[in-house]
């Protein structure tokens, strides 16, 4: 396998874990929003926005940077 294939496989395998961890936190935020009042609801909204932003960055942003750096090259090994 090529290093590019290894990168692609790594992203595919990590996606499920990233999604699972963030969905769990979003469920907690929904519970806080549903049961909380005032500042707790505000915290739940802020937490949800932070988790969604973090998940987008972890999935799309990181993949874009790695593809920009290593996607177009023919590498024999990954410089890790």
- Asked if the structure places residue 66 within a domain, the reply is yes
Three-class secondary structure of residue 76 per DSSP: coil
Which structure tokens are listed for 20? 């699972």
Is residue 36 pLDDT above 80, yes or no?
yes
pTM, whole model, 2 decimals? 0.73
Which residues span the domain enclosing 9? 3-70
Query: At residue 79, does pLDDT exceed 70?
Result: no
Domain count, the chain: 1
- For residue 75, report the phi and psi dihedrals to the nearest 5 degrees: -100, 145
Of the pLDDT bands very low, low, confident and very high (cuts 50, 70, 90), residue 29 is very high
Establish if 78 belongs to a structural domain. Answer: no
């Amino acid at each position: 396998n090529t290093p590019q294939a290894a990168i692609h496989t790594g992203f595919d395998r990590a996606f499920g874990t990233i999604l699972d961890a963030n969905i769990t936190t979003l469920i907690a935020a929904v519970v806080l929003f549903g049961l909380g009042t005032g500042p707790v609801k505000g915290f739940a909204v802020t937490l949800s926005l932070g988790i969604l932003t973090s998940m987008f960055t972890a999935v799309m942003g990181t993949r874009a940077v790695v593809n920009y750096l290593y996607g177009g090259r023919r590498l024999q090994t990954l410089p890790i």
